[in-house]
Structure 1
Amino acid sequence: MNGEPVKGATPATLGLLAVTAVWGSTFVMIKDVVGRMLPIDFLAVRFLIAAAVMLVCFARPVRRLGRAQALRALALGTLYGAAQWLQTEGLALTSPSVSGFVTGMYVVITPILGWLIFRQRLPVTLWIAVCMALVGLGVLALNGLSVDLGVWLTLASAALYALHIVGLGHWSRPGDAFGMSAVQMVAIAVVCLLATLPHHGPTLPPDGRAWLSVIYMALVAGAFAMLVQTWAQAHMPATRAAIVMTTEPVFAAGFAVALGVDALTWRMVAGGALVLGAMYLVELAPRFRRRRPAESLHHEV
């Protein structure tokens, strides 16, 4: 795929925006849960539940997947699971704000990997949008950046997320979304389960409230989100998907303000405006440019 809009791109953008809104809604919930259980245990239980549910619901689409698509889905899921693992380990060594910004570096890494691996060329507007999104993330998240082991681990996770976005954009097909998302979830669950072995295996959530959060994270922010992302990336270029997904911290800040966890600040407004401006460039500006020749011809007549 190149940088131009494709058929079905608008529903795909809306679907991906819904996914990032769901991810943004989970930050307060995750903060509560990981305060009472190890983050890697939380990830393992969350993705094991999601994988089990998806295998039951999508057993037939999984069986219909060809060997090549199944192997690609396993590889993509392994990338995503490793990214989750590295991000979690990095978060333990650095601040959440720095972790959020460094993770968002996938918006820059994605087009670079797309060009290196698949020779995908991007229009200038997409590069401008990438820069705007990156600056917006910095304004939203950063109060200073010290480069330590946590930052390097998180940057590695961002590279893996970018590789997952590029691979999913290249290999995903609309008809394979159910099967591929289920297989990816199985691979993610296996990676996260293996990551708990040094801690003697996963520990279950400590109480009913934690269980409710884990189940929401597993089914809505896990299974549903992976399904929609897999389908959406069959209809849009990888870099465009990465820019759309940078709205996650904007949604997170919005939910934090709405729930009374954080106060609205100029950084939220300015950073959010830059990210939304990047969204405008990749979603609305190309449509405006396509309409202009027809409008000019009409006026000349």
Structure 2
Amino acid sequence: MRSPEIKADILLLVTALIWGLAFVAQRVGMDHVGPFTFNGVRFLLGAGALFPLALRAGVRAHPSDFQGAGQGRGVLVWGGLAAGAALFAGASLQQVGLVYTTAGKAGFITGLYVVIVPLFGLFFRQKSSPGDVFGAVMAAVGLYFLSVSEDLTMSLGDVLELAGAFFWAGHVCLIGWLSPKVRATRLACVQYAVCGVLSLATAFLTETVTSMGLSGALVPILYGGLLSVGLAYTLQVVAQRDAKPAHAAILLSLEAVFAALAGWALLGESMGARGMFGCGLMLLGMLASQLWPRPGARAA
């Protein structure tokens, strides 16, 4: 393995670790502020952290440079609004769900978006690989063992996290469509700002926002905004220039594992043998969905 690939894999591993620990920060932060307040401040911080990178994005050529100036700005504005709205829905369901479930469960259930994305493709008549089918089955069975109790009920938090996974999947599809048309850092900056504004507006309508609460949640908010959103996103972009897709898929999927380990080590959360078995099946499904060769990939 070449040195740049090793460095890229290390950066991706650090990215997954930061994102996994963010689930703990999100739970701890809500001891002091409401879920919409937490999301609003952290996403605006993330947008601010990415703003310098967005300004420097004009140095390298991009396909959007060959569009008309007005057309390029239009795609960035409307695309950023749409992506920000999808991000707001997914992040809100995730954050509210964390009030009622553990960080470890939230990490694994949120990670189901990697299985849901190829399933969305079926609606557009895209062929699915055997890995997509296998991954979906394993993820569904794993979700049953992780979240469904013996009396066949799910907690409200797990239901909200599952609903959020569908919005995360839709967000991934939307970003995939927008990425060739606009610069990634500029799109990220706009969508984070939109999500932050929507979250804060909802917070002022539904929650009590106080300086004391924000002060108490300062460390989790800084972690969620500057590290989870700003730094981790930058590390991912840098790493995936040199990382092999298979390595990137495996390492980023470890986000769910890190979330479970952090919840156990820092919050004393426990899933039990049944839950751990379900997590293992879900991780297997996620990896199969990402790594299984897709139809036509070899020919391409």
Q: Partner letter of residue 92 of structure 2?
A: W
For residues 127 and 197 of structure 1, the distance between their equivalents in structure 2, rounded to whole angstroms, comes to 43
Indicate conservation of the 8 Å contact 2:17/2:258, yes or no: yes
Q: CA deviation at 1:80?
A: 0.5
Give 1:8-19 correspondences, 5 Å limit. 18-19=14-15
Cα offsets for 1:82-140 (capped at 9, x unmatched)? 22223444555x544876676455345322322324x3322112221232234334434
Corresponding residue for residue 55 of structure 1: 51
Give 1:131-210 correspondences, 5 Å limit. 131-143=137-149, 146=153, 154-173=161-180, 176-199=183-206, 202-204=209-211, 206=213, 210=217
Q: Partner letter of residue 42 of structure 2?
A: R
For residues 11 and 253 of structure 2, the distance between their equivalents in structure 1, rounded to whole angstroms, comes to 14
For residues 18 and 133 of structure 1, the distance between their equivalents in structure 2, rounded to whole angstroms, comes to 25
Give the percent of matched residue pairs that are identical in Structure 1 and Structure 2: 31
TM-score (norm 1): 0.70
Cα offsets for 1:200-229 (capped at 9, x unmatched)? 774446376631221111011122344566
Corresponding residue for residue 295 of structure 1: none
Please say if 1:24 is aligned against 2:20.
yes
Corresponding residue for residue 38 of structure 1: 34
Give the CA RMSD over aligned residues: 4.4
Q: CA deviation at 1:143?
A: 3.5
Indicate conservation of the 8 Å contact 2:114/2:286, yes or no: no
Task: Decide which moves more: 77-86 or 273-282.
Answer: 273-282
- Indicate which of 198, 215, 221 corresponds to 2:222: 215
- Indicate which of 113, 121, 130 corresponds to 2:127: 121
Segments of 5+ residues of structure 2 without an aligned counterpart are 65-71
Indicate conservation of the 8 Å contact 1:24/1:248, yes or no: yes
Indicate conservation of the 8 Å contact 1:23/1:221, yes or no: yes
Indicate conservation of the 8 Å contact 2:107/2:255, yes or no: no
Summarize the Cα distance change of 1:147–1:136 in structure 2 as closer, same or farther, 3 Å threshold.
closer
Cα offsets for 1:65-84 (capped at 9, x unmatched)? 62224432331122111222
Equivalent residues, number: 277
Indicate conservation of the 8 Å contact 2:129/2:293, yes or no: no
Indicate conservation of the 8 Å contact 2:97/2:157, yes or no: yes
For residues 37 and 263 of structure 1, the distance between their equivalents in structure 2, rounded to whole angstroms, comes to 25
Indicate conservation of the 8 Å contact 1:110/1:165, yes or no: yes
Indicate conservation of the 8 Å contact 2:32/2:214, yes or no: no
Give 1:231-270 correspondences, 5 Å limit. 247-259=254-266, 261-262=268-269, 265-267=272-274, 269-270=276-277
Summarize the Cα distance change of 1:259–1:156 in structure 2 as closer, same or farther, 3 Å threshold.
closer
Indicate conservation of the 8 Å contact 2:80/2:191, yes or no: yes
Q: CA deviation at 1:26?
A: 2.3
Summarize the Cα distance change of 1:233–1:205 in structure 2 as closer, same or farther, 3 Å threshold.
farther
For residues 158 and 264 of structure 2, the distance between their equivalents in structure 1, rounded to whole angstroms, comes to 27
For residues 286 and 128 of structure 1, the distance between their equivalents in structure 2, rounded to whole angstroms, comes to 12
Q: Partner letter of residue 91 of structure 2?
A: Q
Q: Partner letter of residue 135 of structure 1?
A: V
Indicate conservation of the 8 Å contact 1:244/1:279, yes or no: no
Q: CA deviation at 1:189?
A: 1.0
For residues 126 and 12 of structure 1, the distance between their equivalents in structure 2, rounded to whole angstroms, comes to 26
Cα offsets for 1:140-195 (capped at 9, x unmatched)? 44446536877765554332211101112233249822222112211111221221
For residues 279 and 101 of structure 2, the distance between their equivalents in structure 1, rounded to whole angstroms, comes to 20
Summarize the Cα distance change of 1:251–1:61 in structure 2 as closer, same or farther, 3 Å threshold.
same
Q: CA deviation at 1:57?
A: 4.0
